[in-house]
Amino acid sequence: MNPVTFSTLACPAWSPNTIIAKAAEFGYQGIEWRGGTNGHVQPTMTSQEKRTLRKMSDDAGLMALAVTTYTSFVSMLVEERQFNIDELKRYADLAAELGAMYVRAFLGELTEKINLDAVLYGNISACLNQASEYATTLGVRIAVEPHDDFALSSVVLPILTRSHHDVLVIWDIGNAFAAGEDPDEGFELLKDRIAYVQVKDGIRSGIHWQLCTMGQGNVPLTKAFELLFMQNYKGAFSIEWEYAWHPELTPPESALPAALQVVKGMLSEIRSGQKAKLL
C-alpha cells in the first residue's frame, strides 16, 4: 500500500508534538516536514531536538517522508549558487538525522533578466549533482519541486537529464495542472524519476487558479493516480494543504482528515477497478 502523508505547510501554528499526535489520530502514515525560516525543522536544531523528534515519530508509527528547504540555483553568481548548495547539504544532514528519505529542493524563481538556456540548465544541474553526491552518502536523495518558472514537466526535464540518476523529482499534480499541463504529458516525461507525489485540488478557469477542498476541484487526480498505478508506482502520496500561505482556507484540523479520506477513497476505488480487470 502506498503511504499517504501531509506537508506541515498545512499547520504552521502547530508544534511538532501536535503535528505527530494529529497525524496519528487522523490516520496518516507519515509527515513531510517543512524547513526554512518559518518551518518546523531546521539544521540549527540541537542534536537532542532531532533525536527527540525522530523518536516521537517512530513511536507513533509515522515515517518522515522529506524535509523541505527553500533553495534557489538560478543566480548567475557562483557564490550565491554555492551558498544554496551548502544549504541543501545541511538539509540533507537534517533529513538523515530525522530518518527522512528525501530533501525537497526548489530550483528558484527567474527574473526578467534571466532566461532559461543551456547555461542556466547546466548551472542548476551542476548544483544538484554536487549536493546529490553528498546526500547519497547519507542515504538521502534530492527531490526537485516543480514550482514557479519550473512548474511544467517539460521545463524540469532538461535539468533531470543533465543530473545524476539519484536526483529525483516530485510530481505535483496540482501545480502542473494549474500551469496548463495534461497529466498524461507530465507523467510520461517524469515517470522514471518520481520520488513521491504531491496532491492538492483546485479550480482552473483560463489563467485563473484557486485552491479548494480536496475532491471539489477539477484537478485530474483520478487520472493521475491511474497512470501511476498502471506503472506499478510504490511511492508515497503527500497532501499539500497550503494553509500557511492561504489562511482563508479551511483550518488543518478539519481539512487534513477530510482530505485523507478523499484521497484514500480515490486510491481504493482505482485499486478495486484494477483488480476487477484482472478477474
Q: What is the CATH number of the domain that holds 261?
A: 3.20.20.150
Residue 115 has pLDDT above 80, yes or no: no
Mean pLDDT of 125-153: 95
- pTM to 2 decimal places: 0.94
Count of domains observed in the chain: 1
Domain containing 238 equals: 4-278
CA dihedral 236, 162, 154, 36 (to 10 degrees): 50
Please list the residues that pair with 68 across neighbouring strands: 34, 104
Residue 180 has pLDDT above 60, yes or no: yes
Residue 118 has pLDDT above 90, yes or no: no
Strands (E), 80-207: 102-106, 141-145, 168-172, 194-199, 202-205
Mean pLDDT of the chain: 94
Residue 137 has pLDDT above 50, yes or no: yes
CB 33 within 8 A of CB 39: yes
pLDDT tier at 275, thresholds 50, 70, 90: low
pLDDT tier at 279, thresholds 50, 70, 90: very low
CA distance 229 to 234: 8
Mean pLDDT of 3-21: 98
CA distance 44 to 52: 14
Please list the residues that pair with 204 across neighbouring strands: 209
